[in-house]
Structure 1
Amino acid sequence: MSASSGTTPHGMMKGTAMAMKVACDGHRDGSQTMGHRPVAKLGSAEAPHVAAQRSFGRLFDHQADQPDPDAISELAARMVEGPDDAVDGPADAGTAFFGQFIDHDLTLDATTQLGEAARRVEEIENFRTPRFDLDSVYGSGPEVDPWLYGQQDEGRGLAFGRGWAAGTQGNPLDLQRNCNDRALIGDPRNDENLFISQIHGRQFVAEHNRLLGEASGTVEHRYEVAREGLTHAYQRRILHEFLPAVVDQSVLDPLVQGAMDGNLPGPISWDCAPDMPVEFAAAAFRFGHSMIRQTYALNDAHEEEDIFSPVNAGFSPVARAHNLDMARFFGPQAQRSRPINTKIAADLISLPTNIVGRMPGLSEAEDAKARNLADRNMQRGQHTFHLPTGETVAQAMGVDVLDPHPDVADLGLTGMTPLWFYILWEAENTGGRLGAVGGMLVAGTILNLMLRDKMSILHTEEAARAVA
């Protein structure tokens, strides 16, 4: 590792001072103070507590000088996982897909285009509430989105599988679907692959219905009890299972303790941070792509299926024979995710047509770039959002800057490492979990969102027990 950015005469890291300045000083691009941000009441009448920012923001100033796009593409092409790279990491296999579920619950950018520079990020609307409120499951509630719910006595139950809601291809564990096989869910992206589809349906929709059946009182009261119970269980799962699985303990522990005390530690001044930083949404929280395996054991009958095999077509009914054995994805007997590092499963380096669509008119080289998920991530981060490079963020945060990855050095990108790649390289040097930069961006943003939600477990009577 190279030297850090040094200290001021008062002993404060210069990088820390820079990070706090960029977050709070009213800078045209880098600052997002809470005072001038538009705030909107979101959610249903049953959830009036949700007041969230409807746009993205920056923790650090945008960076005009960006790495060469062709060099980024070559770096992405070198990330393909080889036979010797396919090792088990510390997290359960389902962790990456649960992370995808979290992402879909927090963010939806439906306006920017890959390869085109974004306008000011404060003007880009986030179509999800940046709160852990499960609006991706509940939509805006039964009055606004009744198509997600049942009829009459079951009017507060979520439509799922069979029973009082019509079945789907004879599979009681599949999502409810319309006549075109589109899933009837709060966020359509949660049907884009078999894994997240089953997590959404079996761990959230079905669980809401179970909690609803156990509650007593009026149907409205039962709905509120079930929704609050599921939402708090979801938040505890993020806090106790997800974050420890993906963030190095030395980075996570001070942040969790700060959240318990109601004040997250620096170097980022979280009081001034936007709800949804683009550094999180467009780079740091995409770390899960490196955790994806090339093959998975779905259940006893399907012991080795490629990530994009025909049984995982996405946006289509799930056959009963393809239901996941959840014990193979979560818990002590689960298969493992890949460690967070700079290698990506081969099928993610060449995405199939059903994922990215057909792109006529492209040359062979252009088509290869367009289908490379790693390339898409880095081009989007650096050339759509003009994110600062990894070295810039590390210096701003006052942490040691990593020596360049060998491929970064070979391609002349030293000092200009795309932020997403830098975070993966940092995790590779931290035992397969997120390190100082990635861990601060991921865990800090998540805990900050919980602190800002007065109905989260950090503000309820059970908070001390839940987080201790």
Structure 2
Amino acid sequence: MKDLDHNLKATCCAPGHGASGLRDIVKLACDSQQVGTCNGARPEEGSAEYVFGRLVDMMPLDQQPTKDACNHLANLMQEDEATAKDGPADAGIAFLGQFIDHDITLDATTKLGEFAGAVTRIRNFRTPSLDLDCVYGNGPEVDPWLYEPDNRLIFGRGPTERTEEGANPLDLQRNINGRALIGDPRNDENLFVNQIHGRMFITGHNATMKRLADITDNEDRLHEARAELTWEYHDRILHQFLPAVVHEDILNPMLAQARNMHLEDLGRLSWASAPAMPVEFSAAAYRFGHSMIRETYRLNDRPGREAVRVFAREADAVRLEGFAPVDKDNNLDMGLFFGSGAQKSRPIDTRLPAALITLPDSIATSDKNLAARNMIRGQHTFKLPTGEVMAQWMEADPIDTHEKVKEAKTEGRTPLWFYILAEAEAFGGKLGPVGGGLVAGVLLSMLIRAHSPALRPYRGV
């Protein structure tokens, strides 16, 4: 796809855009390509076709940091493993966040660094509604390969399960080529999200189905079990995930607003007319979790087992890359990832482990710096607003220019993703007004639209 910037104008097609007040921002944002492309419209209820949208206007390429500047800034972000510090969140929170991402967004068409064009033409292949479609697929009639005859979800069944002594009963079901047979294949891309998908959600569904044995109709029992597991999932997002990643000064007022179930009064933006999946969220704000990744993790307490690297070097015996059967010796001790005995994630800040600064060939054959990929995708593929512009739109106090931004000579043009990390760094390792406002705003608005029972405790019910 060729860059279409020479055909575009920086002005929005909506009359009076930029002067109608904060509450109208998301109603008027558009791709600035042609009259009629504004993104306030949402898909009709029950629609199978979901697309992306914008909260604020696309920023022209001549106002963006260059790709070279993004690469320079990315190369300054490698964490010093010897001085790395723990953050406030449990180690599993970063991977729970990855699972949530896979449940609500999938862009399978754009290319890194190539302008995507009108985001309203880009299909989102996941339902942006926190409905666990990444676990349940389209149900047993459409995706029967996910289900047992009684509508339990299949777990731990590989092609050699009954004949191979070393088969892993806590791995995902797999085909003869070792590929996981699940609702979203990305939940097998590393050991950690694999185990969350299988051991939190598949086993959670099956345990609920067993508990609901008095419901004799399998279809009714599936419906009730999915509803209960989805409620528990929403509760986990509200009580475990969001408090771990969003600073309480940002989150608590938004939770208080969410109890009223009014999208117009949720944080610094009105979400009533917002697109179902804003690219400011999917291509920047929600990529904050990369900075939470540790270089090494303890998997379990098996004798002689030491911490292992995220992406093992050739000499290492334990390799954690996904899309392959999981050795039963690598099954996670979930107590090391969630709860009082858990390892900690790194704080949300402007540092990434070396494993993500130089990705292995199994993950990326070119453009191996994940930080650079994030910034180039945001600012060049989607022409997102810079962090400074986004902060201004959200009426958030701007942060001081980060020293790494100064060194990369991108003052005033900070990539949105980096700005959100720098803001979190200033807020003690949790997301601040811009990052937290976007992340909590999108997730809470989804829960409000779903009339989630998980919000009831916040409403005093």
TM-score with structure 2 setting the length: 0.88
Partner of 2:392: 395
Corresponding residue to 1:350 among 358, 361, 366: 358
Shift of 1:22: 3.0
CA distance in 2: counterparts of 1:180 and 1:72, whole angstroms = 38
2:161–2:167 Cα contact (<8 Å) kept: no
Whether the 8 Å CA contact 1:427–1:435 is kept in 2: the answer is yes
Q: Which residue of 1 aligns with 2:339?
A: 331
Are the aligned partners of 1:87 and 1:338 in contact in 2 as well (CA < 8 Å)? yes
Verify: 1:286 aligned to 2:294, yes or no: no
The one of 57, 63, 66 equivalent to 2:59 is 63
1:138 matched to 2:146: no
Q: How does 1:423-434 map to 2 (within 5 A)?
A: 423-434=420-431
Structure 1 residue aligned with 2:443: 446
Measured in 2, the distance between the counterparts of 1:66 and 1:393 equals 13
1:74 aligns with 2:72: yes
Aligned to 1:464: 457
Structure 1 Cα separation of the partners of residues 394 and 75 of structure 2: 30
Deviation at 1:38, TM superposition (A): 3.8
| 1:13-412 to 2 correspondences below 5 Å | 18-25=21-28, 27=30, 29=32, 31-34=38-41, 37-39=42-44, 41=46, 54-64=50-60, 65-151=63-149, 154=150, 156-162=151-157, 166=161, 169-215=166-212, 216-217=214-215, 218-263=217-262, 264-301=265-302, 302-309=305-312, 310-356=318-364, 358=365, 367=366, 370-412=367-409
Q: Shift of residue 139 of structure 1?
A: 0.0
Deviation (angstroms), 1:431: 0.6
- Offset, 1:77: 0.6
- From the superposition, tell whether residues 147 and 162 of structure 1 become closer, same or farther in structure 2 (CA, over 3 Å): closer
- Deviation, 1:165, is 11
The Cα shift of 1:465 comes to 6.3
Q: Partners of 1:265 and 1:448 in 2: how far apart? A: 8
- CA deviation string 1:92-118 (max 9, x = no partner): 000000000000000000000001100
Task: Name the aligned partner's letter for residue 158 of structure 1.
Answer: L
Is the 1:18–1:396 Cα contact (8 Å) retained in structure 2?
no
Do 2:51 and 2:122's aligned partners in 1 also have CA atoms closer than 8 Å? Answer: yes
1:217-257, Cα deviation, whole Å (9 max, x unpaired)? 22122211211111110100000000000000010011111
Aligned-partner Cα distance in 2 for 1:389–1:378 = 10
**1:266 Cα offset (Å):** 4.3
Deviation at 1:305, TM superposition (A): 0.2
Aligned residues: 426
State whether residues 52 and 131 of structure 1, in contact with CA within 8 Å, keep that contact through their aligned partners in structure 2.
no
SS at match of 1:407: helix
How far apart are residue 83 of structure 1 and its match? 3.3
Q: Mind listing any 5+ residue stretches in structure 2 that lack a counterpart?
A: 1-16, 313-317
Partners of 2:335 and 2:233 lie apart in 1 by: 18
What secondary structure sits across from 1:261 in the alignment?
A: coil
Moved more, 209-218 or 87-96: 209-218
Q: State the shift of 1:70 in Å.
A: 0.2
Describe the shift of the 1:280–1:85 C-alpha distance in structure 2 as closer, same or farther (beyond 3 A).
farther
- Aligned residue for 2:347, secondary structure, equals coil
Q: 2 CA distance for matches of 1:318 and 1:164?
A: 14
Contact 2:130–2:447, Cα closer than 8 Å, also in 1: yes
Q: CA, structure 1 residues 22+141, in 2 after alignment: closer, same or farther (shift >3 Å)? A: same
SS at match of 2:141: coil
1:57–1:276 Cα contact (<8 Å) kept: yes
Moved more, 165-174 or 258-267: 165-174
CA distance in 1, matches of 2:270, 2:102: 25
Structure 2 letter corresponding to 1:205: I
Q: For structure 1, which segment, 158-167 or 223-232, has the greater mean C-alpha deviation from structure 2 after superposition?
A: 158-167
Instruction: State the alpha-carbon separation in 1 of the partners of residues 204 and 267 from structure 2.
Output: 37
Q: Secondary structure at the match of 1:161?
A: coil
Q: Deviations over 1:50-80 (max 9, x none)?
A: x576000000100002111101101001100
Sort the Cα spacing of 1:393 and 1:141 in 2 relative to 1 into closer, same or farther, 3 A. Answer: same
Conservation of the 8 A alpha-carbon contact between 2:423 and 2:432: yes
Deviations 1:378-415 (A, max 9, x none): 00000000000000010111111111111111222111
98-107 or 305-314, which deviates more: 305-314
**CA positional deviation for 1:308:** 1.3
How far residue 319 of structure 1 moved from its aligned partner, in angstroms, is 0.9
Query: 1:271: Cα distance to partner?
Result: 0.8
The answer on whether the counterparts of 1:259 and 1:458 sit within 8 Å (CA) in structure 2 is no
Amino acid at match of 1:112: T
